[in-house]
Structure 1
C-alpha cells in the first residue's frame, strides 16, 4: 500500500475511533493502519497535528525528520459522516 493511501486510511479511521471510543472494530482498524505505517513505511509518532476550516494536518517522523501531510478536511471526515448517516451503525 502506498504511503499516501495508508496515511489517509489511518486518518479516516482515527477520526472514527476518536468519535466512537467504544467501537472496537474502529480501534482495531486504526491500529492495523498504524502498523502498516510503522512497519512498512518506517513512520513514528503519527498524529493529527492541526485541523482548520479546510485541511487536516497529520504530523509524523520518518528517518529522524518531522514531516506534515495535509488532507482536505471534508475527505478526512467523510467516513465518520457516512457511518453517522447510516442508522444500522448507530
Structure 2
C-alpha cells in the first residue's frame, strides 16, 4: 500500500494531465485507479484542488476531518511538461 501522500501526489499529477488532455483515455483510466485507491485504501474524499503559486493544494476529508496537503507545482506538472514537449510519444489509443 502506498502512503497517503504518495497516492495524493500520483493522483494529482495524473489529474493535471487529464484536465489538460480530456481525450486521453489512458490518463483518465489512471486517474480513476488513483481515485479508487484514495477512496478504498485511505478512506478519503477529495473536496477540492487549488493552484496557487508555488503550490497545488489538495483539500480532502478523512474521518470527518478536513485536511489540506500541498505539492510544489513544478513537481506536479513534470509529466504534463514531458507530454507537451514530446506529444508524438504520448498518442491516445482507444
The equivalent residue for 2:38 is: 37
- Residue-pair matches, total: 89
For 2:81 and 2:48, the matched residues in 1 are separated by 21
Counterparts of residues 1-90 of structure 1 (less than 5 Å): 1-48=2-49, 50-88=50-88, 89=90
Are the equivalent residues in 1 in contact too, given 2:13–2:79 (CA < 8 A)? yes
What TM-score comes out, normalization by structure 2 length? 0.89
Q: Which runs of 5+ in 2 are unaligned?
A: none
What TM-score comes out, normalization by structure 1 length? 0.93
Backbone CA RMSD of aligned residues:
1.2
Structure 1 residue ranges, 4+ long, deviating more than 4 angstroms after superposition = none
Q: CA deviation at 1:87?
A: 3.2
